[in-house]
Amino acid sequence: MTNQNKYILALDQGTTSSRAIVFDRQGHILATAQREFEQFFPRAGWVEHDAGEIWSTQSGVAQEAITRAGLRAENIAAIGITNQRETTVVWDRQTGQPISRAIVWQDRRTAELCDRLKAEGKEQTFRAKTGLLLDAYFSGTKVKWILDHVPGARQAAEAGNLAFGTVDSWLIYNLTAGALHITDASNASRTLLYNIHTGDWDDELLSLLDVPRSMLPEVRPSSEVYGETAAGLFGSQIPIAGIAGDQQAATFGQACLSRGMAKNTYGTGCFMLMNTEKEAMPSQNQLLTTVAWQLGGERTYALEGSVFIGGAVVQWLRDGLGIIRRSEEIEALASSVPDTDGVYLVPAFTGLGAPYWDPYARGTMVGLTRGSTAAHIARAALEAVAFQSAELLDAMQKDSGLDLKELRVDGGASRNDLMMQFQADLLGVPVVRPKVTETTALGAAYLAGLAVDFWPGTEAIEQAWEIDQTFEPQMKATERAARLSDWKRAVERSRGWAEADTTAAS
């Protein structure tokens, strides 16, 4: 069968669900399958997943998507994988079983360890080598926690019996029946253990976090044929040919392939990346410097701003407060009032990401009156996502010295017209939504397809990108400044809350 009759399968392993999407040569979706999986919150600030359930849901939707497309495994030219980043899995090499639940990127349990390392003057070492801040968000401190708290784990690791991986590594290990223990440069750059300048794991950082090198996956480019799925898994073996962390994959899928182009993904969290090409640009404004992708031996870098709670605030309105039954209802509810009537919601449920990096911040609602309704709260929740993103872009433009011409958007919440218009109003630049908003999966598909010559080159990706709608800014500059000022006042009231609470309790 020729490439002309084949398709690409993207596995999009997210924070709340596992998805699989089959793409054709035009980058259009042929079929999709998706399953949610359980979230565990054993203590305040702790978030965990069952890595076994991640694998079972992801392998299940992969087969389901192929079947829904009316295809068989031999019709798939390659598999591309994209994943929730920083989430940490440690498993036994002999049994292939995780030794604990996966610690999710949102988890804050290692905040005190990060504080201790900062007090010891180690943050600049991590910052210079990894481009990251020393924060509980990243994988390295999570690995150390598992080794220190799971009985027998450290001894097993030192004996070479344990493997660590972010979710991409875990999926590939299972897809290949244990034959491959690999990751790509984009995922490696989120661990606090990888030197983004040398392109390798860093012995000094491994020593500081007491993580044995033997646990680590081999770091590979983001686009190449790594191997094939295990015999019998899908009926016939399929090449695995692309890997990228979800936000880097979305940047690739948005065709932000030139310096200064930026995208924002509205998923569980909110993540804005700006392509800085070959320059690993250090941030003076609390952003991250990260590997966007690696093609061959050449790494492309990006500036990144991370918001921990984006679309997850809508899930909270649905599951926590019960003011909507389905996530899709929020736009109609929020649109039923002309504004928030002075209500501001700061969704710092797991602390604040960029540009604050405050693990002790907690969710806060201010400006409530007797006239406040569920609709005002719903609108404040949507606006909170846009406010957080506006702060990211401001920091990004200061760091890069580049003025953004437009912001490309994707992810589930980008389909919310009310939020996208408010986002354009706050930014003062056009917000552009593409026809295919599943750009995370599309980026993984592109990376895999390039490796097997399904697409001839990146020019084909740029040509395939199509606009669905452009939201032009309409808000006056004076109003924009006033709203952003009030937002920052609300944020200040959320900061340091858990820390203050701990002190009071003692």
Known binding residues for ADP are 15, 19, 268, 311, 412, 416
Plot region of 311 (φ>0 → left; ψ -120 to 50 → alpha; else → beta): alpha
- Report how far residue 459's alpha carbon sits from residue 464's, in angstroms, rounded to the nearest whole number: 9
250: Cβ contacts below 8 Å, ≥ 6 apart: 82, 263, 265, 271, 273, 410, 411, 439, 440, 443
Residue recorded with tokens 């991250």: 288
Residues belonging to the binding site are: 15-17, 19, 85-86, 137, 246-247, 268, 311, 315, 412, 416
Q: What is the 3-state secondary structure (H, E, C) of 167-192?
A: HHHHHHHHHCCCCCCEEEHHHHCCCC
- The distance between the two most distant Cα atoms of the chain, rounded to a whole number of Å, is 69
Residues belonging to the binding site for glycerol are: 85-86, 137, 246-247
- Report how far residue 44's alpha carbon sits from residue 447's, in angstroms, rounded to the nearest whole number: 38
* Helix pair angle (167-175, 51-68), 10° resolution: 60
Residue recorded with tokens 């991370």: 306
- Report how far residue 493's alpha carbon sits from residue 366's, in angstroms, rounded to the nearest whole number: 9
CA dihedral for 22, 48, 183, 248, sign (positive or negative): positive
Q: Residue 204 half-sphere exposure, CB side, CA atoms within 13 Å?
A: 10
- Report how far residue 448's alpha carbon sits from residue 8's, in angstroms, rounded to the nearest whole number: 8
Residues belonging to the binding site for ATP are: 15-17, 268, 311, 315, 412
Q: How many helices (H) and strands (E) does the chain have?
A: 17, 23
- Report how far residue 121's alpha carbon sits from residue 140's, in angstroms, rounded to the nearest whole number: 17
Residues belonging to the binding site for sn-glycerol 3-phosphate are: 15, 85-86, 137, 246
